[in-house]
Chain A
Amino acid sequence: MSTILAKKPSTLTDLPMHYCPGCGHGIVHRLLAETFEELNIADRVIGVAPVGCAVFADDYFTCDTVQGAHGRGPAIATGVKRSKPGAIVFSYQGDGDLASIGMAEIVHAAVRSENITVIFINNAIYGMTGGQMAPTTLVGQVATTAPKGRDPKMQGWPINMCEMLSQITGSKYLARVAVDTPQNVLKAKACIKKAFENQVNNVGFSMVEVISQCPTNWHASVEQALEFVRTKMIPQYPLGVFKDEGAK
């Protein structure tokens, strides 16, 4: 007799994911899907998919989904949530999407403390378009539009979204996690779950920033990419909970 210890959550479709080997998106998708199951909210989740590598995220979840314009996820989620207050609405966004073209939308969704959950994948690079410099690209990190590495004199410094949004009263839950080790994946799961529990409890704006790896556009093996997360990314983007006003 064999025992099933782990299986695909019922909230994920059977479609094979298109993500590159070693990418963090698939892990985060699974954590979201598990959360929907465990919180018993699968029947009322509505997801907002971004422009970027996760543009097809809407195909991977069994919940209803809306896929909209680059950076506008928090605005679209605002429209969905205000029209369907009983729905659990999440916006899934990358770093170019959230911290560059969509900076106004994420800041003001926090200012209004929209009761939505934002999942922010920060891998310090534009993936879908082929490795251009992101607002979160590290100083010295090479990108196709920063061929000699990001130079603060020319391109400024990376932006830390959790720290920035923590200054906004309307931000109720801000956490930064990584998915580089099994331990960190478990911690990430706990934070993601908290961010959705907050929405169920009408706490207000919650965001989880996931430090993720992009072996393809970092031109690294998976092992090298995970090492880059530990030695370069996390020192710039320290993990932890920056704000937690949903705690009871």
Chain B
Amino acid sequence: MTQKTLRKGNEALAEGAIRAGARFFAGYPITPQNEVPEYMAAHMADNGGAFVQAESEVAAINMVYGAAATGTRSMTSSSSPGISLKQEGITYLASADLPCLIVNVMRGGPGLGSISGAQGDYFQATRGGGNGDYHIIVLAPNSVEELGNFPKLGFDLAEKYRMPCMILADGILGQMMESMAFNFDPVDPNKIGKFDWAVDIHKNGRKKSKVFSYKGDNLIADVTERAKRYGLIEKTEARYEARNCEGADVILVAYGLSSRACLEAVSKAEEKGLKVGLFRPITLWPFPSKALKEVSQKAKGILVVEQSLGQLVQDVKLAVGDSVPVGLNAYPAGGQPDGEQILTAAKSLLTGKKEGLFDLQTHAEGFTYECKRDLSLGVQGDRKEVK
């Protein structure tokens, strides 16, 4: 436990990771997560660890693969386009059952997108992202305090289940300052024991350790074993926060920064005569489906608030099925939600109006801001005769 201090999100995360025992960091510059490698460059060596500025995100994640193979608490951080590049290494880490921490401080996409905070990488994070059948554990902090404390949780879970863990944050969370306290004592990496699977210097004829990704004829057994592990994780590790859900007419579902705007909506709801609660998934994989279904049984509707184009809403629909109507209030591509807009959408959900609700069937309406792109510029891609 520590006293409260004022910290920037990315720096809280980096300090939290070092306190959690991270002793290898490799990364490549990309906005809006640059404070993470900068902090590591300044402090990792003093803590007996190694910092490498890699030649690319691909190299960085493969350095993490090598460091994780030694049993060292290893991590990398990046932002959306950089995380796309890291997918090669992430699927190899999953296949080799290596624990590590990957941080995605999300920005607008697709492609180079923008440097604004966004939540467009939900599918990529929760569905695997790289090739093959695998999952990674995904933690979604919504405060600087959680950014600072989740690296410890992430490493613990990653090592317990021998798999990569991702902290899915966003540009605003990474850049903003809040008072925070660490909720754990610093971890001494020399005192947390060694893994029998890790590669190391051989002593006294220790059995050969082999970390490998090519499984050949053993792949079916390998993937089946992992599926069982995933089942156990889904059963035991789903985390969430539920606020004012009991007796609520509308339950907002949001993670990360969106959930902060939802808190504003929850606090303003009463004065507008609405009963609004918030269900915040803290683990995005495993998704807290069971808990969501339970808390939403008596609600008249669920409003999903996400800074993406209908990604989180799919897990919500999978969780609740037809038991309660689900609406979407979407702010894709760097758009930022606010409490007023959320409440407008919540009212629409209760009254059958359209305002603030994204039409999941037609994708035609419901953006909370105007489309300013001139569609006559050939967005549909028709070929025209050139004379």
Point out residues on A near B: beta carbons under 8 Å.
Answer: 42-44, 46, 48-49, 51, 55-56, 58-59, 62-69, 72, 75-84, 86-87, 104-105, 107-108, 111-112
Describe A's contact surface by its main secondary structure.
helix
The reply to whether B212 and A87 form a contact with Cβ atoms under 8 Å apart is: no
Among the 9-residue stretches B202-210, B241-249, B272-280, B286-294, the one with 4 or more Cβ atoms under 8 Å from chain A is B202-210
Whole-angstrom CA separation of A23 from B54 in the bound complex: 34
Binary contact readout B52-69 vs A (1 if CB under 8 angstroms, 0 otherwise): 101110111011111111
Shortest distance in angstroms between A83's beta carbon and chain B's nearest beta carbon?
4
Verify if B72 is at the interface (C-beta below 8 Å from A): yes
The reply to whether B210 and A76 form a contact with Cβ atoms under 8 Å apart is: no
Which residues of the other chain, B, contact A64 by a CB distance below 8 angstroms?
A: 199-200, 202, 208-210
Number of residues of chain B lying within 8 A (CB) of chain A: 38
The reply to whether A80 and B55 form a contact with Cβ atoms under 8 Å apart is: no
Verify if B255 is at the interface (C-beta below 8 Å from A): no
The reply to whether B202 and A76 form a contact with Cβ atoms under 8 Å apart is: no
What are 12 A-B interface contacts by the 8 Å CB criterion? A43-B202, A63-B202, A64-B199, A66-B69, A66-B212, A68-B65, A72-B59, A75-B63, A77-B66, A79-B62, A79-B67, A84-B70
Describe B's contact surface by its main secondary structure.
mixed
User: Do A83 and B23 form a contact, CB below 8 Å, given A43-B202, A69-B92, A78-B52?
Assistant: yes
- Among B50, B59, B201, B212, contact of A108 (Cβ-Cβ < 8 Å): B59
Whole-angstrom CA separation of A229 from B23 in the bound complex: 46
Top 5 A-B pairs ranked by shortest CB distance?
A79-B66, A79-B67, A76-B66, A64-B199, A72-B62
Shortest distance in angstroms between A33's beta carbon and chain B's nearest beta carbon?
14
Whole-angstrom CA separation of A94 from B279 in the bound complex: 52
Shortest distance in angstroms between B226's beta carbon and chain A's nearest beta carbon?
18
Whole-angstrom CA separation of A105 from B60 in the bound complex: 10
Whole-angstrom CA separation of A49 from B65 in the bound complex: 13
Shortest distance in angstroms between B52's beta carbon and chain A's nearest beta carbon?
6
Which residues of the other chain, B, contact A48 by a CB distance below 8 angstroms?
A: 66
Point out residues on B near A: beta carbons under 8 Å.
Answer: 23-24, 26, 50, 52, 54-56, 58-60, 62-70, 72, 74, 88-89, 92, 96, 199-203, 208-214
The reply to whether A83 and B50 form a contact with Cβ atoms under 8 Å apart is: yes
The reply to whether A80 and B59 form a contact with Cβ atoms under 8 Å apart is: no
Whole-angstrom CA separation of A67 from B212 in the bound complex: 5
Whole-angstrom CA separation of A77 from B179 in the bound complex: 39
Whole-angstrom CA separation of A66 from B67 in the bound complex: 10
Shortest distance in angstroms between B387's beta carbon and chain A's nearest beta carbon?
33
Which residues of the other chain, B, contact A82 by a CB distance below 8 angstroms?
A: 24, 50, 52, 63, 67
Shortest distance in angstroms between A234's beta carbon and chain B's nearest beta carbon?
31
Which residues of the other chain, A, contact B56 by a CB distance below 8 angstroms?
A: 104
The reply to whether A79 and B63 form a contact with Cβ atoms under 8 Å apart is: yes
Most buried by A among B89, B203, B209, B212: B212
